[in-house]
Amino acid sequence: MLEEASAELFLEQTYAGTTILQITRRAGVSRATFFNYFAAKSDLLWVDVDAGLAGFPVALEECADAAGRTQAVDTVERALLQVCAAFGPGHVPWALTQYELMGTAGELEASALSRFMAQASLVTRFTGARMGPGSELASRAFAMAVLAAAAAAAGVWARTGVNRGALATYVGAAIAPVCAGYRSTHPGVDAG
Amino acid sequence: MLEEASAELFLEQTYAGTTILQITRRAGVSRATFFNYFAAKSDLLWVDVDAGLAGFPVALEECADAAGRTQAVDTVERALLQVCAAFGPGHVPWALTQYELMGTAGELEASALSRFMAQASLVTRFTGARMGPGSELASRAFAMAVLAAAAAAAGVWARTGVNRGALATYVGAAIAPVCAGYRSTHPGVDAG
DNA sequence: TTCTATTTGTGGACTGAGTCCAACAATTGC
DNA sequence: GCAATTGTTGGACTCAGTCCACAAATAGAA
């Protein structure tokens, strides 16, 4: 209910130009109610992304089971693409469009980084558990690098016009070199 | 002058627990004056980092000139390590310590991402100019991936105890696989 | 020295996000 | 019918960041 109101207002006035009060007024509720449904104004930008990201841990486990003796790097790569498959050319998340639209908007960047780091911790734990001890640096670096590449791809994808195609295509191309690099540098780790 | 006051207060109360008013009071100036010297409270966390980062464009050009016919990827790698050389085990920037200390602090994350993206744009332009047209995705993905790996390394470095050694060691290990991956996947681009 | 002009500091008012809380429906369960 | 839970509301509050008009202070020229 609040999502629809905010979507309208973001189109009319952009994210930064819209206040929580305006959103709640249009939705016919009070300002206080807003925070019963969203912890922050910026959460509105991420509903789609968060929904997709919610499937990432699951996809990670699935891919780990499915893949026989492939490396953890491959598992992450596959799980990432699986999550991206949910995003076709149609619905670009608000977060991406608004980011291109107004670059530096404080809250947007804060919310983006917090989500990024959450996923990074997930991947770090996953690969860290599958590489020996003393691999914190490699795990964390790989996690953040591969997710950054994916984020870069999402940005390019969003910037591209209507015929942008599927997100997974972009992400696949972007993360492949990163995965290749870590595969050859830290070889022979099973995912099972 | 404000830096010293803030450094004291951050130690006593952490970043999030310190208000601009407290900082300016201890420094003996008014709150309004604060914004004559810093655009945001979070800038205080980044003085060291920003100083180091200021040398990055320069290092990039230097490395591009020095290296004969190496790839743009190698140039970026070398320039990055050159910038990191400024950070020994002694002074860890506030941004890193406070990030470990209180994870998600809004302003901190926003300021971190804005800096990250600024450097990413820099690297994207650099490599993009040296790879043909139609390489936006690769350039951007490499830029963000290599910087994310470097950031991950900085985080691990900061988390490590007093005998952490030089930052460049960590960053070198973290970004090498990323560079290797992009070197082999997008070969043969000169840096000159 | 005296008169400007530019900088630098200051107070204060303002917006807007986010927090907290106490009061008040509305719903469910008995 | 009466609780207990849950959702909603208004309002007060803190703090970051913006804006502006005004008051030193300072520099440079006469």
Residue A39, token pair as written in the block: 């912890």
Q: Is A11 helix (H, G, I), strand (E, B) or coil?
A: helix
Q: Do A120 and A66 share a structural domain?
A: yes
- pLDDT of amino acid B68: 66
Does some domain include residue A192?
Answer: no
- Whole-angstrom distance, CA of residue B85 vs CA of residue B63: 14
A16 contacts in chain B (CB < 8 Å):
none
What does the angle CA A68 – CA A73 – CA A77 come to, to the nearest 5 degrees? 90
The dihedral sign for the CA sequence A38, A43, A44, A46: negative
In which band, very low, low, confident or very high, does the pLDDT at B94 lie, cut at 50, 70 and 90?
Answer: confident
pLDDT at B184 exceeding the cut of 60: yes
Question: Domain check: are B57 and B68 in the same one?
Answer: yes
CATH assignment of the domain containing B24? 1.10.10.60
Nearest Cβ partner for B113 among A112, A136, A146: A112
Strand D-proximal protein residues, Cβ less than 7 Å:
A 29-33, 36-37, 106; B 18-21, 32, 35, 39-42, 107
Q: How far apart are CA B44 and CA A44, in angstroms?
A: 30
Instruction: Say yes or no to pLDDT of B128 above 90.
Output: yes
> Does residue A192 register a pLDDT over 50?
no
Q: Do B34 and B53 belong to one domain?
A: no
Residue A139 tokens, joined: 């795990």
Q: What is the pLDDT of residues B36-60, one digit of tens each?
A: 999 999 999 999 999 999 999 999 9
Whether B54 and B4 share a structural domain: no
On whether residue B153 sits in a domain, the answer given is: yes
pTM beyond 0.85: the answer is yes
Residue B26 and residue B82 in one domain: no
Same domain, A77 and A114: yes
Give the CA distances from residue B24 to residues A75, A155, B11, in Å, rounded to whole numbers and listed in that order.
51, 39, 16
Within a domain: A27 = yes
Measured over the CA atoms of residue A75, residue A76, residue A77 and residue A78, the dihedral's sign is positive
A32 CA: nearest nucleotide by C1': D9
What is the per-residue pLDDT for B132?
Answer: 76
A135 and A90 inside one domain:
yes
Say which DSSP state A91 is in.
-
* Residues of chain B positioned with their CB less than 8 A from the CB of A141: 148-149, 152-153, 173-175, 177-178
Q: Return the pLDDT at A133.
A: 77
Residues A10 and A98 in one domain: no
pLDDT at A1 over 90: no
Asked, for residue B163, whether it belongs to a domain, the answer is yes
Q: So what's the pLDDT on residue B30?
A: 93
Return the CATH number at B134: 1.10.357.10
A30 within 8 A of A48, measured Cβ to Cβ: no
What is the number of structural domains in chain A? Answer: 2
- Structure confidence at residue A130 (pLDDT): 87
User: Has residue B191 been placed in a domain?
Assistant: no
The overall longest dimension of chain A from CA atoms, in Å, is: 58
Q: Is the pLDDT of residue A101 over 90?
A: no
Q: Which domain holds residue A85?
A: 40-185
Q: Are A74 and A3 found together in one domain?
A: no
Based on the fold, state whether residues B11 and B49 are members of the same structural domain.
no
Among A61-65, A127-131, A152-156, B127-131, name the most confident range: A152-156
Measured from the Cβ of residue B132, the count of other Cβ atoms closer than 10 Å reads 9
Other CB atoms within 10 A of residue B32 CB:
9
Residues with Cβ within 8 Å of residue B182, at least 6 apart in sequence: A177, A178, A181, B73, B138, B142, B145, B146
pLDDT of amino acid A67: 67
Per-residue pLDDT band at A105 (split at 50, 70, 90): low
> Mean pLDDT for chain A?
88
| Structure confidence at residue B149 (pLDDT) | 98
Out of A30-34, A122-126, A140-144, A187-191, pick the least confident: A187-191
> Are A93 and A104 contained in the same domain?
yes
- E strand residue ranges, chain A: none
Q: Which among B144, B170, B177 has the least Cβ separation from residue A152?
A: B144
The verdict on A145 and A107 lying in the same domain is yes
More confident residue, A189 or A150: A150
Q: What percent of chain B has pLDDT over 90?
A: 63
pLDDT, mean of residues A71-96: 90
Top mean-pLDDT range of A79-88, B87-96, B142-151: B142-151
pLDDT for the residue A191: 43
Q: Distance between CA B138 and CA A61 in Å, rounded? A: 29
